[in-house]
Chain A
């Protein structure tokens, strides 16, 4: 999968926003949006996030209906100055996370540790790690290949977004 060629301010948002709002669509055609921490897998031109096997609805929805979206609209913690809002619409592929040391899994967990430093006290506790194995280590990965990207400058939703063509660098 090739890298994405994106305007720098859009790439900064994908790298720096702490959370995005992920939407999947259920069997009844109902969209459900939840916040998620997504890892920008730059070498593969994808966005990657995961869910615990205890709460697999996003993954189950994405398996049935692969068209998903990620909205980056809350810059809290990102330290970016007046960033745009970005909506990524893309196609999801879903798979159980069986190798915890795969680069993008490692990338995601490093990102979580960096952005949520207080969680270190929890995850470094051996007992907690075993009690919460279903949350920390038994996960389903969702990789999203962007198909269309919409951008609102200054996160001004009163204006129409502009579309960024999704171009890949081979």
Chain B
């Protein structure tokens, strides 16, 4: 299903990663390319498709993501759909926009600068983790917080000493 707000986020990217599955081997194949969004037809077209995509068809996805050089400012968004060739142009018919943040209005990942978003992510994560553990059927082993605390202190000391 087309999503206007998430489609608007795509305009901030100059390239994306297109992926299909190689039916003969079962392995995924990906390339970075420069898709163009056609909002009227609700498709993405890839006019200058990389050579490697010759023959690509079927279920596909397009990932858009970015971060800065401190691995902050994380944004990510996947468009999944069906890849075809229309008039010789590689075309992704959009099935769904998917985010990794549990939201349908932004591709921004939770961060300390957006406390409400962070709180929503915390609650979502705790709920989903409980569901995973219920399915797993046995509790997760206790977290060794004392050992972790000691390791963090040691790491901080090493960092201070420039090791």
Contacts and interface: CB of A to CB of B under 8 A. Distances in A.
A68 B140 CA distance: 27
Interface string A119-152: 1011110100111111101100000000110100
Contact of B80 (A32, A69, A117): A32
Nearest to B63: A33
Given A100-B148, A118-B72, A124-B152, A69 B28 contact: yes
Interface stretch (B1-9, B35-43, B44-52, B85-93): B44-52
Contacts of A10: none
Which 9 A-B pairs have CB atoms at the shortest separation, nearest pair first?
A134-B129, A23-B28, A77-B69, A116-B71, A54-B128, A157-B50, A89-B27, A69-B28, A71-B30
Interface of A: 18-19, 21, 23-25, 28-35, 37, 52-56, 65, 67-69, 71, 73-74, 76-77, 85, 87, 89, 96, 98, 100-101, 112-113, 115-119, 121-124, 126, 129-135, 137-138, 147-148, 150, 155, 157-161
B28 A25 contact: yes
B72 A116 contact: yes
Q: Which applies to chain A's interface (DSSP): helix, strand, loop or mixed?
A: mixed
A77 B28 contact: no
A71 B80 CA distance: 17
Contacts of A123: 152
Contact of B59 (A28, A112, A159): A28
A74 B159 CA distance: 28
Q: Which applies to chain B's interface (DSSP): helix, strand, loop or mixed?
A: mixed
Interface centre among B30, B59, B65, B126 (most CB of A within 10 A): B30
A31 B143 contact: no
Nearest to B141: A98
Given A67-B25, A157-B52, A31 B61 contact: yes
Nearest to B112: A122
Contact of A19 (B32, B50, B65, B152): B65
Contacts of A98: 141
A137 B71 contact: no
A134 B152 contact: no
9 contacts: A19-B65, A21-B63, A32-B98, A34-B76, A56-B132, A77-B68, A100-B148, A134-B126, A134-B129
A19 B67 contact: yes
Contact of A158 (B27, B50, B63, B122): B50
Contacts of B70: 77, 115-118
Given A24-B28, A25-B28, A160-B52, 20 more contacts: A31-B61, A32-B78, A33-B61, A33-B63, A33-B78, A53-B128, A54-B126, A71-B30, A73-B30, A74-B32, A74-B66, A76-B69, A96-B140, A100-B143, A101-B151, A113-B155, A118-B70, A118-B72, A134-B125, A157-B52
